[in-house]
Structure 1
Amino acid sequence: MILLIKEHLKIAFRRQKSNVDSRWKDVEFIVDNYVFLKVSPIKGVMKFKKKGKLTPRYIGPFEITDRVRIVAYQFELPPSLSHVRPVFHIFMLSKYIPDPSHVLQPDTVELNEDLTFKE
């Protein structure tokens, strides 16, 4: 009976391992790449000026300035995040893929002499 349970556990372990291994991907960033930083919401803690459900999942993009270790990268944070340590594990980063639609061009507005405009 015990041997049967152990055999079932081994089969279940192998099945779960194969599922995880099939979705595993090696991620590596290069200095000067842009990445998003994953921020995990902690109940009752306000880290990035918002708390609760409205907390952003990712912030950025930030440019990588240095590779500290195999799985740790450093980038320069804005002054508003000066209280956060600038070295992050690779699991907290997500690659930023540049998209021209992310850049918004301001509309040109013609102003009158009294600094008013017509819509």
Structure 2
Amino acid sequence: MKTAELVVKIQDMMRTTQSLQKSFADQRRRDLEFAVGDHVFVKVAPMKGVMIFGKKGKFSSRYMGLFEIQERVGTLAYRVALPRNLAGVHNVLHVSMLRKYMSNPLYVLNYEPLQLSPNLSLEERPTKILDRQERRLWNKVIHIVKVKWLNHSEEECII
């Protein structure tokens, strides 16, 4: 009788633990859905010692590319248009391996005509000082200057 009571008690504890873990997982879960034609990034698992995009280990990229969704396969999988250099990778991916591309107008580059010199080089020179700051450390002061350059807008200036 004692053993049966212990088994029931352990089963109750396991059910409670499983319920708790499920509630934590459900709070973090996001329901992702993509439409045909959406653009996504594909998750890449960084491996120790493997160089991806010129960076090794933990500094390598977590997501790569900008790929288009071709079709939905089942409830949680999508067929992605991969380039020829990734022909060895299966093109049907689980939704957890994808991240939606959110376009940001701040990342769109302006293609304004540039003032090129006769040897086709671009001359960069400061035009205006926008801001000055001092950062004090323990034993020295660092002067920081925000400068507007000739071929750039003021929005691009970062201090």
Q: Report the TM-score range of the alignment, normalised by the length of the smaller protein.
A: 0.7 to 0.9
Describe the SS at the equivalent of 1:111.
coil
Look up the match of 2:13. 8
Instruction: Specify every segment of 5 or more residues in structure 2 that has no aligned partner in the other structure, as ranges.
Output: 125-159
Amino acid at match of 2:81: E
Describe the SS at the equivalent of 2:67.
strand
RMSD (Å) for aligned C-alpha atoms = 2.6
* Structure-2 change in CA distance of 1:29 and 1:117 (3 Å): closer
State the distance in 2 between where 1:84 and 1:108 align: 41
State the distance in 1 between where 2:76 and 2:122 align: 53
Look up the match of 1:57. 62
Look up the match of 2:114. 109
| Structure showing greater relative contact order (alpha-carbon pairs closer than 8 Å, 6 or more residues apart) | 1
TM-score under structure 2 normalisation? 0.60
Amino acid at match of 2:39: Y
Which of 81, 92, 107 aligns to 1:76? It is 81
Which of 95, 99, 104 aligns to 2:100? It is 95
CA contact (8 A) 2:37 2:70 kept: yes
Higher strand proportion (structure 1 or 2)? 2
Percent sequence identity is 42
Structure having the higher Rg:
2
Count of paired positions = 119
What pairs up with 1:9-48 in 2 under 5 angstroms? 9-46=14-51
Instruction: Specify every segment of 5 or more residues in structure 1 that has no aligned partner in the other structure, as ranges.
Output: none
TM-score under structure 1 normalisation? 0.76
